[in-house]
A and B are shown apart, each in its own frame.
Chain A
Amino acid sequence: MPSEAATARLDGDGRRLHPFTLVFSALTIGRGMIWPALAGGFGLGDGQMGRTLPIILAVLAIPALIGSAAKYALYRWRLDADELLLRSGVLNRQNRVIPLARVQNVEVRQSLLQRVVGVAELRVETAGTGLQAEAVLSVLGVGEAQSLRTDLLARRRAQADAVLVDAGEGTEAIERPVATPLAKLSTWDLLLAGATANEAGVIAAAAAGLLQFTEQIPGELFETAIRGAVERTQGAYVVVGIAGVLVLMVVGWIISIAGSLVRYHGFTLTVDGGEMRKRYGLLTVHEASVPLRRVQAIRLEETFLRRWLGLASLMIETAGGSPGQRGGAEAFVPIARRGEVARLVRGIFADAQVDEADFQHVHPKAERRLRRRYLLSFLVLVWAPFWVARWFEVQPAGTMAPWVGLLLPLPWLMARWQYAHRGWALPPGYVMARSGVLNRVTWIVPDRKLQTLHVRDTPFQRRLGLSTLVVDTAAGGKQAAVIDLAHSTARRLLEELAVRARAAVRARPPSAEPTAGSG
């Protein structure tokens, strides 16, 4: 057990990197300089610059070399029974403690040159955020790197085992359907998915259809109207432009439908043995499998049009599995009927009662805040430019300026809609957060996947007694947030979720052990 401070232990018995580290960092610096030097030499010929550039580069290289020598001299590492300790940095000094139980992946890398001289780079990854591995020991002797890797993995296993014994049995086993496909998409489904994916295209197609319709039936009335508009706006080019845009949109729409048919052809999703398997594609056949315990959250996305048609798409957010790939969102089911959503979600989160979720509104003052913001952005970004155009007598925008005022109710409506769609729910074992009008997004986050919880409020929110609650998971780069809750509600939710997150971890099935990447 570490009783001594980690820093002291590093001071006492910290180990250095292999001395070849110096050679390799010098090589890296040299490689960075060589191309500018060559380019300078060739490009500038025998001129003054041609000769001075290599000198300048050499001068630049010297501090870099000194820096890397200092880095090598100060770098220390040490492997203890349950921790890996690292010290690095010259000006900004960093002492890092990595609990071994957290280690996801240990990799020994060797470039060709490193193989020749018998050294290697050891990379230790945890589930942390950075793109870079959490510990990069570059370089160590090959033997040292390999034995360190073996040690790290052995000690990590010992740690994980100890904890598993601690956790004990008696956790509920979650039953999942065996090998029957959870979802299968027909050609009709894919057609729908494609047709509703590109909203602008749909609107354009509808508009084009309408235009044709109006041309044939009421005749004169529309013709005179359009002709009048054309005359007033001084030129047919406007009409031609609009028609061009319409044509482009329709083409885009057709492409989107075709794309959906080709990409998702024969979509089949199976959940079996703790794994989700997807198979789809006409030209390129995709086969993906995702371990269910890696799923951090499900996101339900309903665009305006799809909502209206009773359709939705589901995304899953995962934490990265293999080295180099740090998780992210993935289409779980590209299109689903609303009635099926709950069943699909239960395929991944067996105990989620999504359909019974009782969504709560945020504080009514949120609507006020939204309204003010929309109004302000409408006035500044939309209406004001028209008046400026009028001032400078730019036509036709100038003549339109007073008419744009007719759009004034829009900010009110938008605020109302936003407020109506924004909400949160706490079904047992899960947190749900919903927001958005044009694309409504609903997060479904299991308590057991909560990483950190945040409540924050800007001075503007504070004035109204409002706060934002952020629920963070290991999902790649996105967070679920509930904006403009009453401050006291946000704080209460924070406490509630902290308790729930902790309880959920305790009650986790032992199969969900943290060993992930194999070495």
Chain B
Amino acid sequence: MDRPHPDVTLLDEARPALGEPRPLPAEAPPEAPVQRLDPRAVTLWRLTGAMWWAMWTLCMIIPWLLWEWPLLLMAPVAALGAAWVAWVPPASYRHFSYQVGPVDVRVMHGWWTRHVAVVLHSRIQHVDTRQGPVERAMGLATVVVYTAGSVGAMVGIPGLAEGEAEALRDRLAQLSGTDDAV
């Protein structure tokens, strides 16, 4: 997708870290196709981002009202917001992908901190689709996968076309097994 990790000499790789070399399991997952979000996700994030930053810019009126700070304070906030709206949504989009394999769902995301999250189908507790007002207007939806885990218990896939999101939600709900390891 992007720059690969710079390769480094690995101390912890040099040792037989993972024990005996084990033959791959029979049901070794064939590479599931890497799926991208709907390209409209960029527009969605731009819209919501712009609203968010506009709100902060307007908040800068408060110090002006109360203590007559210069109204010019709005400028840096607006500039920051503009930069954010211009740069972050496409970057997030570029770094967002997911795979629904035969045994697990993988979500790769993050333009700043990169995340790879793996959720085994058998651990899925329930699945939601969510739509905010902007998402609904654009015909987009977010799928959220819940596990019984503690902190990383919610894994979300935003910016999917409505129909696609529903299909994914129903498919994941069906794939979820009975053994949730709790």
Contacts and interface: CB of A to CB of B under 8 A. Distances in A.
B139 interface: no
Contacts of B28: 499
Contact of B128 (A5, A94, A474): A94
Interface stretch (B37-45, B50-58, B65-73, B172-180): B172-180
Given A94-B130, A95-B128, A457-B113, A498 B17 contact: no
B181 A449 contact: yes
A334 to B, nearest CB: 23
Nearest to B146: A128
A363 B18 contact: no
Contacts of A360: 12, 15, 17
A260 to B, nearest CB: 29
A134 interface: yes
B165 to A, nearest CB: 9
Contacts of A459: 112-113
Nearest to B10: A486
A363 B178 contact: no
Contact of B126 (A96, A464, A502): A96
Interface residues of A, number: 80
Interface string B127-156: 111111100100000000011111111110
Given A363-B12, A456-B115, A475-B150, A451 B123 contact: yes
A428 B22 CA distance: 12
A452 interface: yes
A93 B147 CA distance: 21
Interface in A97-128: 97-99, 101-102, 104, 126-128
Interface residues of B, number: 62
A92 B130 contact: yes
Contact of B150 (A160, A428, A474): A474
A7 interface: yes
A95 B129 contact: yes
Contact of A129 (B116, B153, B179): B153
A6 B170 contact: yes
Given A91-B132, A486-B10, A488-B5, A6 B169 contact: yes
B153 A451 contact: yes
B116 A496 contact: no
Contacts of B7: 465, 488
